[in-house]
Structure 1
Amino acid sequence: MTLSSPVTTIAEAGASPRGNSTKTGVMLVNLGTPEGTDARSMRRYLAEFLSDRRVIEWPRAIWYPILYGIVLNTRPKKSGALYDKIWNTEQNESPLRTFTRAQGEKLAATLADSGIHVDWAMRYGTPSIESVLENMLAAGCERIVMFPLYPQYSATTTATVNDKFFESLSKLRLMPSVRIVPPYYNEPVYIDALAHSIETHLAALDFEPEVVIASYHGIPQSYVKRGDPYPSHCEETTRLLRERLGWDDKKLIMTYQSRFGPEQWLQPYTDKTVEKLARDGVKSVAAFNPGFVVDCLETLEEIAGEAADIFRHAGGKNFTHIPCLNDGPDGMAVIEQLVRRELSGWA
């Protein structure tokens, strides 16, 4: 008599009842990361990322010749060189993977007494959403809380994570019950965590920034015209932070970074803003990234590196980057509170 084989595919994972006990899982999902800084790894990652219809909404007949004929032949080497600057050489991985794993491990430890199964995944790259879902089903999870790690909603981020998650679920015959953690751009625990991280960082400086910049990842203006609520979420986060910190709109300003391609993106642009501030006589600024849950290429290289250089070359003197919440106590308090809320009645 041959025993049935262990679960090996997501389809098999949902093929039969998983027993009488009800186990709950939590999946943290971040954007993604290349496996290495070499051109091949970068090309594989960029191809997956830039092929996403949520990220690039151009018709495929127009976009694919550009992507495969130009972008993927030129950008991997350039992007790899940028990743080299911030790469975690100790663990041979990007900081985004390091911090996201740490968040998953710390949340797992916090929820250990509740018997909650915690794991983490990437929308692009590995570990994939589908593979992590497969592992959770194999572990007996019949209820899953999925947490897209984006405070402000955009179709380019939160929606594409949801797409991939439900695409994976669609392959199952027996689906688990699911809950999705909603955007939390205006949640008091998130605003308090950001404010505390800013206050703590600024208190340790030997200078006082004249201007503090909240730099958010940008999206094309055309996406907003088609209904993406992202800028309104960013504006509300900034408004609540000003209120919490007691600052006006001259002390705390907001900008958008990381534009790509020929379209007009959300403005004002971060790089142009820091340059103008310096040319207008501002000598000291601080910048932080409230839309990023963990530090990554866009925060460590683009802001802490490139934006700082632009500011100083234009006549500025002091530039400091305030780290993301990462896996610190403030950041974990946000994740834990939002997860516990969604677990209510399940755990």
Structure 2
Amino acid sequence: MVLLQIGFAGMYVLTMFSFKRGMSIYVFTVYRHVVATLVIAPFALLLERDTRPKLTFRVFLRIAMLAFLEPVLDTDLYNVGMKYTTATFASATLNTIPAITFILALVFRLESVNIKKVHSVAKVIGTLITFLGAMVMTFYKGHVLAFVSSHNNNNNNHGEGEQHWVIGTVLLFASCIAWAAFFILQALTLKEYPAELSLTALMCLMGSVEGAIATLVMENNMSVWKIGFDSGLLSVAYSGVVCSGIAYYVQGVVSRERGPFFVSAFSPLCMIFTAFLGSIFLAETLHLGSILGAILIVFGLYTLVWGKSKEPLLTTTAIAEDTFLEETKINVKDGKTSGDHNGRRELPPTTGTYMLNC
């Protein structure tokens, strides 16, 4: 997971460098997910050949919405916001995603809060602190920190730059909301279509198509589709393979073994690595408001993660046992029995842990 955060930090710095050299943000999104599709699709076809469920029209519509939320809306909003601010600042805003996901999970009744439980109170407090940090980062810029390289060529210190900074910040947090909504819809979709690799491949494929449509709307010059053997090609290949292909697999494995909130606990490392790489390769500056807001966000994140970690995990075995007990009660009430010669029914073998992937 630590190496994965380094990989994400490298992507943010590399893509920011490509955007500064004139690469279209919207074209980058399309090409990135084309590469991701080519990487993931073979594994989905081979590994889920016998387990892939039937693709219904309802699931197809959900996949289309997933493709719009993450590969298109989230990625484009994030990249535009990063272009208006800095790669370091943009990576810091990603730490609000667990808190936003928690709020949406409450709305859709996928999460619950019991104020009598300490861990539930911790989740609420952590969410509030996280949003407080987000407000600080948005509306308080502060002084430039002297220990970071200040050879920045952008105009963030001027009036127009200040306006761009606020717009960029709003776009970044809007992308976080889209990403959190993606997590919720993904969890609901996986219940009907439990094939992670196939779902990811279809989502990236449809995201490429939807992203191409968005690019045709946003870009009037067809020459933006041209990509040479430069940093643009490198950023597309790197992002598609490492941050879409490998990252989906690693995060899925770790999320299944340790839970999704364990995965989110490593996100502050990405912010640190991005700040280090951005100051070296992009000559980015850090402001006091960004540091204070990031500290609040990280503190709120870990408070939320701590509260979530104290909740009991609901295993598939427990689910099967509960189902068996309920069915047994119904059968006894109706004067019926089912199962072996002793009137008992064996539970099917179950393994693994049922967790909401949000």
Q: Which category of TM-score, normalised to the shorter sequence, fits these structures?
A: under 0.3
Of structures 1 and 2, the larger Rg is shown by: 2
More helix by share: 2
More strand by share: 1
